[in-house]
């Protein structure tokens, strides 16, 4: 069995995955636009470059994603992607990058379980909890 997380995006899947690749050291595997898939005929011409399926590996976990038509899109809710970093510097760097144009729900701070913990919803609507383990 393999665990994967799947996230819908509002037309910015490729942009989000490219940020995650750069910021979090991920590796994009697939980035398939509608226009190069059998689903091309089911979307308007303006949607041909949007993503029907993508995946990225982050620390051994796959996040899959796609773009959803505006009338179908709902921001993610009810979950967070938890990232545990080996030190505070890496936690801060990731937090700053994910919070740019996003929304900070819990500023980075020391907690009883972590020297550096925070919660952010990035500019793509994806919720993240960041935790430093040392």
Summarize pLDDT for 30-76 with one digit per residue, the tens: 999 999 999 999 899 999 999 999 999 999 999 999 999 889 999 99
| Token duo for residue 64 | 């899959």
Query: What is the per-residue pLDDT across 4-22, written as a single tens digit (0 to 9) for each?
Result: 999 999 999 999 999 999 9
Average pLDDT over all residues of the chain? 96
DSSP state of 53: E
Map out the domains of the chain with their CATH numbers.
Answer: 4-67 (3.10.180.10), 81-132 (3.30.720.110)
82-115, pLDDT tens digit by residue?
Answer: 999 999 999 999 999 999 999 999 999 999 999 9
Output the pLDDT for position 134. 82
Distance in angstroms (rounded) separating the CA atoms of residues 90 and 22: 13
Spatial CB neighbours of 31, under 8 Å, sequence gap ≥ 6: 14, 17, 51, 54
3-state secondary structure of 18: helix
Model pTM score: 0.93
Whole-number Å distance between alpha carbons of 14 and 49? 9
Helix, strand, coil share of the chain (percent; to 5): 25, 40, 35
Give the pair of three-digit tokens for residue 58. 């982050």
Q: DSSP label at 106?
A: E
What is the per-residue pLDDT across 67-78, written as a single tens digit (0 to 9) for each? 998 899 999 999
């Amino acid at each position: 069995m393999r665990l994967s997380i799947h996230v819908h995006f509002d037309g910015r899947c490729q942009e989000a995955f490219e940020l995650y690749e750069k910021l979090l050291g991920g590796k994009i595997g697939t980035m398939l636009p509608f226009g190069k898939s059998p689903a091309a005929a089911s979307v308007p011409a303006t949607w041909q470059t949007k993503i029907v399926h993508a995946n990225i590996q982050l620390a051994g976990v796959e996040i899959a994603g796609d773009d959803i038509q505006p009338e179908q899109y709902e921001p993610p809710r009810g979950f967070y992607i938890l990232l545990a970093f080996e030190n505070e510097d890496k936690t801060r760097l990731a937090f700053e990058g994910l919070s740019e144009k996003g929304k900070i729900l819990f500023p980075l701070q020391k907690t009883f379980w972590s020297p550096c913990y925070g919660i952010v919803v990035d500019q793509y609507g994806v919720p993240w909890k960041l935790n430093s383990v040392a």
